[in-house]
A and B are shown apart, each in its own frame.
Chain A
Amino acid sequence: MKETNRIKKDSNESLLCTDSGTLCNQESCYDTMTISSFIDGEISPEESEEVKNHLDNCPVCRQVVDHYLSFEKALNSGIASSFKDQDVKILQNRIMATHDLYAKKGADLNGIQNKIRSKLHSIKDFASSSIFSLPKIYLQIASLAAIIILSITALRDITDVNAPMQSVMAQSSPSAIVTSVNGDISSVIILETEDTHHTIIWYQEV
């Protein structure tokens, strides 16, 4: 029997669960895998009953269920007929994997940004600590010119240093990150191919 997993979070984090104002502690919420198993009927009847009772009072988990159901509905509609025989789980896993990649990428990019910031700071520190004997105005202008020149050089250096890393990331990240989808459409699927991580958006007009 598979054990249901509750999300373990800081007990101070709580959300408004019902219109009546009852607070829903996220500790009692289920993780997405459990909810997915619940939808697929892969948990025991007792556990299923427990999840059902929780869903009656928790809009957060209900929203996750709605999300999964709409996804399943899209796959089972005409949209699925275009794709090869891939079940819901494979597509879900792909989408989850894509999300993970975005998260990893975001972390790496933060690192690059920090490197750029620290380089620029060190450049500014160098300029301000220089002991030129020229009058103040020249010193300011020279500092400005130095900052501009060194900034350009530093940014180019950083790009070069990170080029191999970007190349590795490029190979494993999706060809396109889809940040929003909208329109007169009944359903949409976003996926990427296994080999080259080519991003595909498939939508169905109303």
Chain B
Amino acid sequence: MAIYFKQTATFRQSANRHKKILSALFSMVFIILLSVISHEAEAAAITSTVRVIHATSDTPFMDPGLKDLGHELQSVFKYTSYRLISSRTLAMAEGSTGRVSLPGDRSLELIPKGVENNRIRFSIRILKNDKQVFTTEIQLRNNSTITIGGPDFKNGYLLFNISGKTK
């Protein structure tokens, strides 16, 4: 009888030890998964700035707000004047849509679709009078910009400089 009780007690002790180890391991896995999920959620935050530029052949002028871009634009385009009409920064989650109003009843929609190999995949739509006129899919290098241009506006053309940044 005494042996039976001893065996039961040993079995209980062993079961308790197993339970403790099991719960410790489960806690560890849970914490790791939680940190992975929170890390991914953090990585999904994408910041984008859309600068709307008016390029014309007027008196030579370079807007101070376009210091970083002026040389690039002048190396390609014939225009002499570059004015910054507006600048807007959007903080977006993956899959969400950022909207920016543009001159001439136009608007720009920006959808970040994911990050891969240090490049942010964007879907960009330009609408005129709510009708889609231009769409493109790009893979923008992190911390870089792309310029989209072409629509004519007030004796010149509109350029949209779009930047993308993610952690």
Contact = CB atoms under 8 A, between A and B. Distances in A.
Contacts of A83: 76-78
Interface in A138-160: 138, 141-142, 144-145, 148-149, 152
Interface string B141-159: 1001111111110000100
B141 A201 contact: no
A164 interface: no
A203 to B, nearest CB: 4
Interface SS of B by simple majority: strand
Given A149-B32, A170-B118, A191-B76, A175 B145 contact: yes
B86 to A, nearest CB: 20
Given A145-B32, A175-B144, A176-B139, A205 B75 contact: no
A174 to B, nearest CB: 8
Contact of A179 (B77, B79, B138, B152): B138
A109 interface: yes
Contacts of B18: 135
Interface in B100-131: 117-119, 126, 128, 131
Nearest to B79: A82
Contact count band on A: 35 or more
Interface string A184-206: 11000001011110111111110
Nearest to B160: A201
A203 B141 contact: no
A204 B141 contact: no
Contacts of A181: 134-136
B9 interface: no
Interface residues of B, number: 44
Interface stretch (B21-29, B44-52, B58-66, B88-96): B21-29
A46 to B, nearest CB: 39
Q: Which 8 A-B pairs have the closest CB atoms?
A: A183-B134, A175-B144, A176-B146, A203-B150, A177-B139, A180-B137, A141-B25, A179-B137
A34 interface: no
B136 A201 contact: yes
Contacts of B140: 175-176
16 contacts: A82-B78, A83-B76, A148-B29, A152-B32, A152-B36, A166-B118, A175-B146, A176-B139, A176-B140, A176-B144, A183-B126, A183-B134, A195-B75, A199-B146, A203-B150, A205-B151
A109 to B, nearest CB: 6
Contacts of A170: 118, 141
Nearest to B151: A205
Contact of B136 (A81, A109, A175, A182): A182
A142 B25 CA distance: 7
Contacts of B71: 195
A2 interface: no
A201 B150 CA distance: 8
A141 B150 CA distance: 58
Given A176-B138, A182-B135, A201-B147, 16 more contacts: A82-B78, A83-B76, A83-B78, A138-B22, A141-B29, A166-B118, A173-B141, A175-B144, A177-B138, A177-B139, A183-B132, A184-B132, A194-B75, A198-B69, A199-B138, A205-B150
A171 to B, nearest CB: 10
Given A141-B25, A148-B36, A175-B144, A204 B150 contact: yes
